Amino acid sequence: MSGLAGVGFFVVSHGCRVNQYEGDAIASELLSLGPDEAQRVEDAGVMVLVSCAVTAEAERKARQEVRRLRRRNPDALLVVCGCWVDRVSDEDLSSMGVDVGLVNGMKHLVPQLVERHVRGERLEPVYRERGSSWDSLSLLRPTRHTRAFIKVQDGCSRGCTYCIIPKLRGPSISRPFGDVLDEARRVLDSGALEVVLTGVHLGDYNWEGLDLADLVEALGKVAGLKRLRFGSIEPFSVGERLLRVLGDCGAFMRHLHIPLQSGDDSVLRRMGRGYRGDDYVALADRARSILGDDLHLSSDVMVGFPGEDDEAFEKTLTVLDRASVGRIHPFSYSPRPGTPAFNWERPAPDVVRARLNRLLELGASRLESFASRFVGRRVTVLVERVSEGLADGLTEGFVRVRFPYHGPLGVVVELTPTASMGGTLVVGEGAFVPSDDLLYPL
C-alpha cells in the first residue's frame, strides 16, 4: 500500500478552464497514490493551489487564497503552482507560508513531491526550470460526476499587446494526438458523459500536422462520448473546415465561446488581435449557417483598453448585437508589467466602471433573451447537481436549467422548460418526463 494512504489533500484551482483541468489532474493523480480528498481544508495534510495571474485582481486573489489556506491549516504542506508563481519571488512565497512553489510546466511534479514529503525527504522551496516539452500531467479519472476537462494545448505564440500569458506559459505547444484520445477513453470509461477540450490557445492545436478539426473527428468516434464542447477558441482559429467538422459531429454541443474583446477596429489593431468587428459578425453568421440558428455564442469583452473612447465602446455594443452574442463576460483592462500596452494611457476609472456596468446590464438582458427562446421547447440536459428534489444542468446550448428530479447524477434527460428567470430555465412540476431512451447512466 502507498505510504500516502490516509493523507488527505485539498486542491483549489483559480482562473481558466486550463487551470481547472490541471487541478483536476493533480487531484486524480494524488487519488491514484492512496490519499483521500479532504472535504475541508482543516482535514488536509496537503493543500494545493493552482494559481492565476492573468490580471492584477487574479494575483490579489492568489495571495488572499494562500493566506486563507495557511490560516485555516498551519501545519499542512502548502504547494502553489501555476502562473502566479512566475510573478512572485522566492522570498515572498516563503514569507506567505508556501512550502513548495512550481512554475508552469512543472505541475506534473506535484504527486511525486507529495510522496517525497510524506517519506520525510527535504523538498526545494521553488521549482522554476520550465521545460520545453508537454507537461506529462494527465487526468487518470474524472473528479466530477458528469464532465471532464481535457487539456490539449498550452501556451501562446501570438503576442496580443495586453496579454502576459505568453510570458507565463511560454510558446504554443500541443499535446500528442494519441494521448488526447487515450485520456478521453479513460475518462469516458470512468463515467464522464461530456468532454470539454481546453487550451490557452485551443485553436492553435497541431500535432504532427493533425489540427483541431482532425481531433474533433477522431473524438467523435470514441465510444461513450455523448457530449463534446470547447472551452474558449479565438475567432481567427475558427475556419470553414472546423465549422463543418463540428456540424458533422453529433456529440458537439451547440455552444461556442469566441472572445471579441472589442468591436472597434482601431482598438482591435492596438490590441494586436488581427481581425475587425465586421469579421467577427461574419464568423457568427457563418457559424450559425452551419451549426444552426440555436447556436449559443458567448464572448469575452474587455473594457477600458487604451484608446477606447465613447465611440469605440458604442461600436463594441453594436457588434455584440449584430453577432447575437447570448452571454457576455465583461472585464476591465488590467495593465500587466512587461506587455507592450502597460504604459499606454487609459480611460478614466469612473468611465471604465460605467462602461462595465452597461455591459453587465446588456449581458443579463441578452442571456435572458437567448434562454427565453427555449421556453416551451424540448431540450436535453445533463444532470449535474441534485439537492432536495431539485436538479440543475446545462442544455446543449450551455443554458442552465433547474427542475424537479429525484434520480441519479450523470444522466441526460429531456424536458420542457416552462419559464426563464434571469437567464436560467426552470421547469414546473409535471413538466419533467423521464424516458428510458434518453437516459445514459454512468
Q: Locate 180 and state its grid cell.
A: 488526447
CATH code of the domain made up of 379-438:
2.40.50
Q: Locate 273 and state its grid cell.
A: 488581435
* Residue 1 reports pLDDT greater than 70: no
Summarised one tens digit per residue, pLDDT across range 328-376 is 999 999 999 999 999 999 999 999 999 999 999 999 999 999 999 999 9
Q: Distance (Å, rounded) from C-alpha 406 to C-alpha 120?
A: 47
* Residue 144 reports pLDDT greater than 70: no
Helices (H), 87-193: 90-95, 110-118, 165-169, 177-189
Q: Right CATH number for 147-370 from 3.80.30.20, 3.30.360.10, 3.40.50.1100, 3.30.2350.10? A: 3.80.30.20
* Measured CA angle at 191 (ends 185, 194), to 5 deg: 70
Q: Locate 80 and state its grid cell.
A: 502553489
300-307 average pLDDT score: 98
- Looking at this protein, which amino acid is placed at residue 330? P
Summarised one tens digit per residue, pLDDT across range 401-417 is 999 998 888 889 999 99
Largest Cα–Cα distance of the chain, in whole Å? 66
Residue 136: band (very low, low, confident or very high) from pLDDT cuts 50, 70, 90: confident
**pLDDT value at residue 141:** 73
435: number of Cβ within 10 Å: 9
For the chain, what percent of residues have pLDDT higher than 70? 94
In the chain, ranges of CATH 3.40.50.12160 domains:
9-127
Q: Are 143 and 27 in contact (CB under 8 A)?
A: yes
Q: Locate 161 and state its grid cell.
A: 499587446
Summarised one tens digit per residue, pLDDT across range 68-123 is 999 999 999 999 999 999 999 999 999 999 999 999 988 999 999 999 998 899 99
In the chain, ranges of CATH 2.40.50 domains:
379-438
β-sheet bridge partners, residue 387: 390
The continuous run of DSSP H or E covering 331 comes out as strand 327-332
225-242 average pLDDT score: 97
Task: Outline where DSSP puts E strands in 356-415.
Answer: 379-387, 390-395, 400-404, 412-415
Q: Distance (Å, rounded) from C-alpha 36 to C-alpha 7?
A: 7
CATH topology (fold) of 9-127? Rossmann fold (3.40.50)
Q: Distance (Å, rounded) from C-alpha 162 to C-alpha 335?
A: 7
